[in-house]
Amino acid sequence: LIDQGLVQTLLQITPPKVRPKLTRVSYIIVDQGKVGEELARLAKRHGVRQIALLEALQGYTLPVETIELCKSTGASNEALRRLEAKGLVRIEEREVRRDPLAGHTFAANPTLKLTPAQEAALRQIVDLLAAGQSGKERPAALLLHGATGSGKTEVYLQALARVLAAGLQAIILVPEIALTPQTIARFAGRFPGRVAVLHSRLTPGQRFDEWRRIRDGLADIVVGSRSAIFAPLPRLGLIVLDEEHEWTYKQSDATPRYHAREVALQLAKLTGAAVVLGSATPDVTTTWQAQQGAIHLAELPERVVGRRPAGDSQAAGELPPVEIVDMRAELRAGNRSIFSRSLRAALTDVLAAREQAILFLNRRGSASFVLCRDCGQTIQCSRCAVSLSYHEGENVLICHHCNRRRPVPQQCPNCWSKRIRYFGLGTEKVEDEMRMLFPQSRLLRWDRDVTGRQGAHEAILETFASHQADVLIGTQMVAKGLDLPLVTLVGVISADTALHLPDLRAGERTFQLLTQVAGRAGRSERGGRAIIQTYSPEHYAIQSAATHDYHGFYAQEIAFRQSLGYPPFRQLARLVYTHSSADKAEAEAARLTAQLQQAATQAGLAETEVIGPAPAFLPRLQGVYRWQITILAPDVHPLLAPLSLPAGWSLDIDPVTLL
């Protein structure tokens, strides 16, 4: 169905460089009697080495690696060759599988009795499977919406059992960062020997071997990250995208700029496979499609985990309480620290109880917007409703979508305060202040700078998991994949850094991040809580995250999108131009913008907007200048298809970010 060469490229398999791994094996090719005769003969001639070899080989039912055999017997290769020459033993080259799961044993993972909501979701998946296999109607996808811990994975597992029983196979996609040994263990423990894994930490040899094993029909379940959607399963019956809202499902940084969700839906059309999109915070577009009836919806409203000891005031299965701290009030009360009084008190309690805390900071929070410390006002673009970004060099505020510019105000336009300044925070600053406030605490910092090295990620996690540190300070990486019983407090240092990114999805991203971060705290028997610090406590993304109210968030967000014709109401495309000369970059971006605007007018394309050009959010990256054009249209293809782009341009249709 799909060009295998392209698939190999997408899976980063490069056949000329990677070959099957061969090893020399040996085994006996004659019967017991012949071996006995030879042993007797050798005994007379003191052929101890050959005797040792023969006796060792008798102990194996399968061919044994020659190197191992010689090592364990102390015999030489030559002695083995002599046995071969006598026609007793055969030595040959065999392929050995480079198994990424080698050496792991997986605890059995017994099937659970489903709750009624899980049961209903499973039935919907089974219906999709049946519809797909009947061939009459190609099934639509199912959105499985349920909080973390609501039992989605158990539904996937039981759907998988049905798929395998029907002689079909499945792909389970999870975000790269969530592809931990624990995740793999849940699938491999339920379906031993039938799981293949595909992710970026495999060696080329492992990836090559897994890919061939899948192609040859030797694995029925592929668990992997984004590119595993191209796994060549011959009898595909089910595709699951867990955490379907994750940005990383889109390959944004290289061509082809595919989204694994789109590929999954296309594959489903071609093969009749069912698609399940799981999330605690589905993409607004996915929920919108479910509301339009374009895809099915199943909801798991209750959390199965998070049970607390009897007698505790917090009800079983409840999500952790989230407190929003108004940082404007902190300032009014004379607290100029990064830490609110509330967060400080909570940290004191956690440390006293010998529990653990995670402090979370948005990665891209560096000094990019101005904020009034007294009323929380930020300066937004009147056209695009995104925050203007502060550019230190020119001392100006710029809209990264439409290039509207404003001088930096000296006073807040809302409350006339003079405390309007650009806002920046880094993990190091948090660490410094933490050290000052809690000199006894053992701190661990986890961000890009620290985790560049191979294995550093696991090492930090291990240090924290084994309670060699009390507080983990990190960027969004800490939001995922961690399931630590001692973590009873999660503090969000500033929700504003995510909220005021110049991207039309900043609200959605903030909601997703905060929901995820807050979910970290409630995973333990000890319960837990989350504290979110912000200068915008009334923003719906923050309010809804604090009350675990997806539907409340969705209602406001979809209204915002509709009012400006943002996705899903129009399609979005982004063109980025890079050049080493600042002038050339700007001029070329202006030229193409004019050309596109003219083309849109001439073709009479309704509701089509060509916005920009504007410097990209990162206007200069690795020595080149970056400009972008944003296009919004009911369908961007009539405008873009006839276009031939000069070198230096890159096009992203349905980009997941404008940053």
DSSP 463-511: HHHTTS-SEEEESGGGGSS---TTEEEEEES-THHHHTSSSTTHHHHHH
All residues at 6 or more sequence positions from 537 whose CB lies less than 8 Å from its CB, including other chains: 324, 325, 326, 376, 543
- Compare residues 149 and 655 and give the one whose CB is closer to ligand ADP: 149
- Compare residues 341 and 421 and give the one whose CB is closer to Zn ion: 421
Q: How far is the CB of 421 from Zn ion (least distance, A)?
A: 11
| The entry of ligand ADP, Zn ion, none that residue 412 binds, CB within 5 to 8 Å by partner kind | Zn ion
- Residue 256, preceding peptide bond in cis (omega within 30° of 0): yes
Q: Read off the amino acid at residue 361.
A: L
- Compare residues 45 and 113 and give the one whose CB is closer to ligand ADP: 113
Among residues 241, 280, 237, the alpha carbon closest in space to that of 139 is found at: 237
- Compare residues 305 and 331 and give the one whose CB is closer to Zn ion: 331
Q: Which run of H or E residues covers position 625?
A: strand 624-633
Residue 508 vs residues 167, 242, 244: alpha-carbon distances, Å: 39, 18, 14
Q: How far is the CB of 280 from ligand ADP (least distance, A)?
A: 7
| The entry of Zn ion, ligand ADP, none that residue 148 binds, CB within 5 to 8 Å by partner kind | ligand ADP
Q: Which residues pair with 423 in a beta bridge?
A: 369
| The entry of ligand ADP, Zn ion, none that residue 415 binds, CB within 5 to 8 Å by partner kind | Zn ion
Separation of alpha carbons 183 and 332, rounded Å: 46
| The entry of Zn ion, ligand ADP, none that residue 587 binds, CB within 5 to 8 Å by partner kind | none
Q: How far is the CB of 405 from ligand ADP (least distance, A)?
A: 45
554: number of Cβ within 10 Å: 19
| The entry of ligand ADP, Zn ion, none that residue 628 binds, CB within 5 to 8 Å by partner kind | none
Q: How far is the CB of 377 from Zn ion (least distance, A)?
A: 4
- Compare residues 24 and 404 and give the one whose CB is closer to Zn ion: 404
Among residues 158, 157, 134, 154, the alpha carbon closest in space to that of 146 is found at: 154
Q: How far is the CB of 371 from Zn ion (least distance, A)?
A: 9
- Compare residues 64 and 484 and give the one whose CB is closer to ligand ADP: 484
Separation of alpha carbons 194 and 386, rounded Å: 48
Q: What are phi and psi of 367, to 5 degrees?
A: 35, 50
- Compare residues 114 and 415 and give the one whose CB is closer to ligand ADP: 114
Q: Read off the amino acid at residue 646.
A: P
- Compare residues 370 and 384 and give the one whose CB is closer to Zn ion: 384
- Compare residues 342 and 417 and give the one whose CB is closer to Zn ion: 417
| The entry of Zn ion, ligand ADP, none that residue 49 binds, CB within 5 to 8 Å by partner kind | none
Separation of alpha carbons 651 and 641, rounded Å: 11
Q: Strands 236-242, 169-173: parallel, antiparallel or unpaired by DSSP?
A: parallel
Residue 594 vs residues 406, 582, 590, 610, 612: alpha-carbon distances, Å: 23, 19, 6, 9, 10
* Sites of contact with Zn ion (CB under 5 A): 372, 374-375, 377, 381, 383-384, 399, 401-402, 404, 412, 414-415, 417
Output the six-digit token pair for 87.
């026609």
| The entry of ligand ADP, Zn ion, none that residue 149 binds, CB within 5 to 8 Å by partner kind | ligand ADP
- Compare residues 199 and 401 and give the one whose CB is closer to Zn ion: 401
Residue 284 vs residues 299, 544, 659: alpha-carbon distances, Å: 15, 14, 19
Q: Read off the amino acid at residue 414.
A: N
Q: How far is the CB of 541 from ligand ADP (least distance, A)?
A: 22
All residues at 6 or more sequence positions from 237 whose CB lies less than 8 Å from its CB, including other chains: 129, 132, 133, 163, 166, 168, 169, 170, 272, 273, 274
Q: How far is the CB of 357 from ligand ADP (least distance, A)?
A: 22
- Compare residues 115 and 380 and give the one whose CB is closer to ligand ADP: 115
| The entry of Zn ion, ligand ADP, none that residue 414 binds, CB within 5 to 8 Å by partner kind | Zn ion
Q: How far is the CB of 158 from ligand ADP (least distance, A)?
A: 9
| The entry of Zn ion, ligand ADP, none that residue 417 binds, CB within 5 to 8 Å by partner kind | Zn ion
Q: How far is the CB of 331 from Zn ion (least distance, A)?
A: 11
| The entry of ligand ADP, Zn ion, none that residue 304 binds, CB within 5 to 8 Å by partner kind | ligand ADP
DSSP 452: G
Going across the sheet that includes 389-391, the strands are 389-391, 396-398, 405-407
| The entry of ligand ADP, Zn ion, none that residue 6 binds, CB within 5 to 8 Å by partner kind | none
* Sites of contact with ligand ADP (CB under 6 A): 112-115, 118, 146, 148-154, 304-305
Q: How far is the CB of 119 from ligand ADP (least distance, A)?
A: 9
Q: How far is the CB of 303 from ligand ADP (least distance, A)?
A: 8
Output the six-digit token pair for 397.
């505020």
